[in-house]
Amino acid sequence: MNYPHAMAFSDGSADFRSDTVTRPSEEMRRAMAAAEVGDDVYHDDPTVNALEEEAAAVVGKEASVFMPTGTMGNQIAVMLQTKPGDDVLADPGVHVRNVEAGGPAALSGVAFRTVDSTAGQVTPAQVEAAIAQAGFFPRIRLMIWENTHNLSGGRVVPSELMSETSATARRHGLAIHLDGARIFNAVVASGVAADIFAATADTVQFCFSKGLGAPVGSVLCGTQEMMGEARYLRKRMGGGMRQAGVIAAAARIALRDRDRLKEDHELAHYLAESLDRAHPGLVDLAQVETNMVQIQPERLPRPLPEWREALAAERIKINPAFGGILRLVTHRDVNRDDVDRLVRSLG
């Protein structure tokens, strides 16, 4: 298949910080300009309505609500399925807990009960142990998955594990949310369909604005009834958008072309192998499952701040280390030439 919108930054710069830096393609921009719109708070924006139907169908849920951000989708999922004072069970590295500005505590009044899982892979035994430890107070009301798991370098949580662990959590009466900001990366990497992953959860959030390349937007998916309430909470949060068809038009294209994420994965493998060839032992090739490559800064042949400066001189952006790990992300706005330049600059 030919993907006409794959493109590097035309000014010669390159950005490996995140897949959120992708810009809308020409086709998206044309669709945005031509989008039929209405007032989405009245629920009569035809482009948003079409997107919501398509998005729900892809993950096998009854309905979905278009959200301005993944953060809002996740936070509304927490609000919907908890009461103040509840605990939320999750892997310690999940985005909802670490990078959403204290949302669960500030907005829903909940705390996290984390388990000692690796790369988001919470086991049934860990759920059982957490429940036993909690006793009667406080209540663990919700469990959250994240797939792919960002902080572990875009690793895929296997669907079989999700389904076994979710069955255990459900037996204990927990609701389940899947932060699937990058669920289609998991789908492309594993060959498991999105609705199989989504069936392990009651609500699923996924983003159009990351590797899928739309400028803005996410959806929260679940039952009709829950999504009715999610729409109400979205309004409360200030996320009731009006002629949102303008952005939904780009999101529809992103959703249609989701299989192109395999190109990003191929590029991540090319990046990891190039780094490994130039500096054996620098990267753990087995860790590269989707569009992220992790490096331990202490293994770099030169200090990270110095490398970042050299890269900046070549107009290549990378993040500083976070949690002791440097993460490089591939996406449709970087290409093999950019990777070659990045690897060469390491010395």
Ligand X SMILES: Cc1ncc(COP(=O)(O)O)c(C=O)c1O
Question: What residue ranges bind ligand X (CB under 6 A)?
Answer: 20, 69-71, 74, 95, 146, 150, 179, 181, 207, 209, 218
CB of 180 vs ligand X, minimal distance in Å: 8
Tokens representing 265 are: 């994965």
Nearer CB in complex with ligand X: 96/300: 96
Comparing CB distances to ligand X, the nearer of 140 and 181 is 181
Residue whose tokens read 């908890």? 82
Nearer Cβ to ligand X (127/207): 207
**Distance between CA 19 and CA 238 in Å, rounded?**
26
Rounded least distance, CB 36 to ligand X, Å: 25
Q: Compare residues 112 and 307 and give the one whose CB is closer to ligand X.
A: 112
> How many of the other CB atoms lie within 10 Å of CB of 48?
28
CA nearest to 202, candidates 121, 132, 143, 127:
143
> CB 114: neighbour CB atoms within 10 A?
18
In the chain, where do the E strands start and end? 14-15, 63-67, 87-90, 111-114, 140-146, 175-179, 203-207, 218-222, 292-295, 316-317, 326-329
Q: Which residue is nearest to ligand X (CB)?
A: 70
Q: How far is the CB of 179 from ligand X (least distance, A)?
A: 5
**d(C-alpha 199, C-alpha 12), whole Å:** 43
Smallest gap from Cβ 278 to ligand X, in A, equals 28
- The residue (of 212 and 246) whose beta carbon lies closer to ligand X is 212
Q: Which is nearer to ligand X, 95 or 252 (CB)?
A: 95
Least CB distance to ligand X at residue 33 (A)? 23
47 vs 290, which CB is nearer to ligand X? 290
Quote the least distance from Cβ 44 to ligand X, whole Å: 25
Q: 183-190 and 261-278 helices cross at what angle (nearest 10)?
A: 70
Residues 6+ apart with CB under 8 A from 68: 216, 217, 218, 239, 241
- The dihedral region occupied by 173, where left means phi > 0, alpha psi between -120 and 50, and beta the remainder, is left
Report the nearest approach of ligand X to the CB of residue 87 (Å).
20
